[in-house]
Structure 1
Amino acid sequence: MKISKEQRSNLILLAILVILLFTPIGTTIKVWVNRLIAFSPSVEKVENREILTDYNWTLIDLKGKASSFEEAKGKVVMLNFWATWCAPCIAEMPSMQALYDDYKDKMYFAFVSSDNDIEKVKNFISKNKYTLPVYMPGTFSPKMLESNNIPATFILSKDGSIVIDKVGAADWNSQKVREQLDKLLSQ
């Protein structure tokens, strides 16, 4: 049986799709593409900002210690929902780490994984040498912080106003984000 040029082309295309969708090479390519297209997130207009009033939420750190999101009340907050299997989440992690390194003593950070396996999360964080404060949800998050998609990132002002509400990968270490954080921290 002889394979035509068209069939050969289709088989090659199918092989490429399988590699991109179902192998670690495909994940790596998806991560790099997401990094290339990640821009600074946009800031919500003041009149459109919602204010978080419910901080009743338990988070579990990677050592199994429970903490309350109430600790974030009155602080500038960066809250990120992510997963180890999510290419856009992985793509934005280096920019988040750079931002965290510079702002960790000035504001509250929480990176909440939606993975079910805490060991997988620990291994991911360790392998990539991240020092981000990573948590697992201990209880359901406040309604205003729920998202059906990841990554989902929120930046809150000291009064709980949701200043940035971004779904999808972004460049969190941009000058625009840093200027916004500096502004929020000075208020």
Structure 2
Amino acid sequence: MNITKKQWSNIIFFSVLALIIFTPVGTFVKVQLGKLYVLVSNPTTIEEENRETISDFNWNLVDGQGESVNFKEMEGEVILVNFWATWCPPCIAEMPNLNALHTDYKDKIRFVFVANDNEKRVNAYLKKNEYDLPVYYTKGNEPKELSSPSIPTTYLIDDQGNIVMKELGSADWNSSNVRNQIDELLAFSLAE
């Protein structure tokens, strides 16, 4: 049986496609492409009249040490909430920027990295990448305003409970735009 040039092209195309979709090589490629996307994707501030306000802060979480935490304890603070997983290429792509933001702002705002993953895998991922992030696991339904069918999803919430920034998918959370917005929220919070 002779295989035509077109059939060889199809075999090669579908082999490469399978490699990208179903193997760690594919994950690597997706993460690298995601990092390129993060470079050009900058979260924008939601206009005040379009901002949602969190109606109920009662949300049970467990932190990385196994301690119960209620989101209500953070009410009245500027908070960044990120839903992510170690198996999610866009999450992996944006994590270095989130880590850099956390390093600079961890004493000024609250960070809530909600892992949709196995705790053992999360700890191995954090250790491998030398991230020191406050990871939580949900033990109940998140506030409806923070509900999203996809990850990563990230929210920046002001001290009044208003969602000031929201991004479905990966983005550069270490951009000057985000940092300026956080600085503005902190200045406004101190002025009150």
- The one-letter code sitting in structure 1 at the alignment partner of 2:128 is K
Partner Cα distance (1:71, 1:107) in 2:
13
Where do residues 39-54 of structure 1 align in structure 2 (5 Å cutoff)? 39-54=41-56
Where do residues 22-171 of structure 1 align in structure 2 (5 Å cutoff)? 22-38=22-38, 39-115=41-117, 117-171=118-172
Partner Cα distance (2:15, 2:49) in 1:
50
Unpaired segments of 5 or more residues in structure 2?
A: none
- The one-letter code sitting in structure 2 at the alignment partner of 1:14 is F
- Give me the identity figure in percent: 46
- The one-letter code sitting in structure 1 at the alignment partner of 2:37 is I
Q: Deviations over 1:16-51 (max 9, x none)?
A: 001100111111111111111121111100111111
Q: TM (normalized to structure 2)?
A: 0.94
Q: What residue is the counterpart of 2:173 in the other structure?
A: 172
- The one-letter code sitting in structure 1 at the alignment partner of 2:123 is K
Partner Cα distance (1:35, 1:107) in 2:
25
Q: CA deviation at 1:63?
A: 2.1
Is the partner of 1:51 in helix, strand or coil? coil
RMSD after superposition: 0.9
Partner Cα distance (1:186, 1:154) in 2:
19
- The one-letter code sitting in structure 1 at the alignment partner of 2:143 is P
Q: CA deviation at 1:71?
A: 2.1
Partner Cα distance (2:110, 2:73) in 1:
8
Is the partner of 1:169 in helix, strand or coil? coil
Partner Cα distance (2:92, 2:69) in 1:
25
Q: TM (normalized to structure 1)?
A: 0.96
Q: Deviations over 1:115-159 (max 9, x none)?
A: 2x2211111111111111111101111111100111110100110
- The one-letter code sitting in structure 2 at the alignment partner of 1:27 is T
- The one-letter code sitting in structure 1 at the alignment partner of 2:140 is T
- The one-letter code sitting in structure 1 at the alignment partner of 2:44 is S
Runs of 4+ that moved beyond 2 A:
none
Is the partner of 1:110 in helix, strand or coil? strand
Unpaired segments of 5 or more residues in structure 1?
A: none
Partner Cα distance (2:60, 2:130) in 1:
25
